[in-house]
Each structure stands twice: as C-alpha cells, then as structure tokens.
Amino acid sequence: MNCIALLRAVNVGGRSVLMADLRAMLGELGHDNPRTLLQSGNVVFTLESKRSLAALEKKLEAEARRRFGFDVAFMLRTAAQWKEIIARNPFADAAKNDPARLVLMVLKGAPDADAINALRDGCKGPETIDVAGREAYLIYPDGQGNSKLTNALIERKLGVAGTARNWNTVLKLAALASAEAASRLAKAAPSLPDEVAGQVPSTTAAAASSGLIAARSRSTAAYTTTTTTPQRNAVSGSDLTT
C-alpha cells in the first residue's frame, strides 16, 4: 500500500535534510519508490510490510536521528487515510476558493476535548479551527505567516506534536500517491492475460486523476468473472512547517 510521510521541522532553523538523502534512507530500509514533494519533508512510498504505522514512525525517527544528527518527527498516513482526510475537510469553500490559506495540521495523536477547547480559547485572531481526530483544519484569512496562531501554539494547547501543510500541498500529495498506485498497476499489466492488458492504456498521473485506475479495476474484474477458464506536480503554493 502507499504511505505518505510528513516530517516535522526540517529545512528550517539549520535542521537540514536533503530530499535525496531522505529518499535514499527509505529505499535502504526496504520501502519501494520513495518520491518527495517540495523541500519541507513530504514523501510518498510503498509500504509492503504489516508493521503498524506507529511502529514504523519510531523506526524512521530512530534512523533519521542516526543519519541526520537531530530528532525528526514523522507523521504517517496511508493513501486511503489521506483520501479520508480530504473528504472530511469541513471547509469546502476555502478549499475551492483560497486553498493556500487553508491549512491541514497532521498530529501525532488525537487531543482530548479539553485540549481542543483550550486551543479555541487561545485563538484570539480571525482564524477558524476544526479538530477531528488526529487532524486539525485551520483557515488563516490573513495568511499563516502573519498569524499569531503559530504551529508552536497549536502544539502547546493540544498537547501533541504536529506538522502543517497548506491545502495545495495536501492535494498534490494525494495526486502523487495516486500516480504511484497507477504506476504499480501499469507495471503489473504484462503479467495479465493479453485480452485484459490490451484493454488498459498505459497509466500516467493524469490518467489516474481522470479515473482510469477504476476503469482498469472494472476491466480486470469483468475478465475474471466472464472467462470460462478457472483460476485464470503541480499546484504551487508555499508551506510553513514546524
């Protein structure tokens, strides 16, 4: 399955991590086809093991500390979870009309109700906040860089670490994960029966977003149910991260 990793507080304040080094680390740990987005610590890779995401976060954090010489928090979500995060966005108008000012903060854990209330009480500016499980959705009408609702304040009030990305980057990561899934399906095509493989065009990221992955799945399913033989980049947008 595809996995999305967000790193907290890299390439700020002297905490430098080259994206090529991050990709190399994941590859050497056995994770296929790691691909990074921007320089703020966003990577999509294939997760083959049954290891829990929490256990994998700890493993990646330990290896990053060994390689880079400082602590780096990893927040992992599967591609399926990422789609659910997008679907749960309570600010559809902001996502459509001003995605650069809509921010998703991915959290290490789910804060309790008292912590969420503390965050709302501590927000004295024009920002809008919605916290659901391990994600916080925030609108910064004057821009994140001009706000007193900093990532550090959010973490302190919620009592959990997190890292923030604007909605442009959220969508770009979803597209990157979908393209990776499409690429793996395309590589598997030669192993399918000719009459199935021939129905499926070579898949690109654009094809993935237009629904050809689903068409391919339906095409394969149709073959297996009718055969008589048994057992046969990018929206731009700057990010502020912690």
Q: pLDDT digit string (tens) for 90-124? A: 999 999 999 999 999 999 999 999 999 999 999 99
Q: pLDDT (tens digit, 9 = 90+) per residue, 134-183?
A: 999 999 999 999 999 999 999 999 999 999 999 999 999 999 999 876 76
- ∠ Cα 113 174 16 (to 5°): 80
Residue 146 gets which letter from DSSP? G
108 token code pair: 């290490």
- ∠ Cα 45 236 181 (to 5°): 25
pLDDT at 196 over 70: no
CA distance 180 to 194: 23
DSSP 157-183: HHTS-EEEEEHHHHHHHHHHHHHHHHH
| Residues 6+ positions from 91 with CB-CB distance below 8 Å | 102, 128, 130, 137, 139
| Residues 6+ positions from 211 with CB-CB distance below 8 Å | none
Q: pLDDT (tens digit, 9 = 90+) per residue, 2-13?
A: 999 999 999 998
pLDDT of the residue at 127: 98
pLDDT of the residue at 115: 98
Residues facing 4 on adjacent strands = 44, 77
Which amino acid does the sequence have at 204? T
Residues facing 129 on adjacent strands = 138
pLDDT of the residue at 50: 74
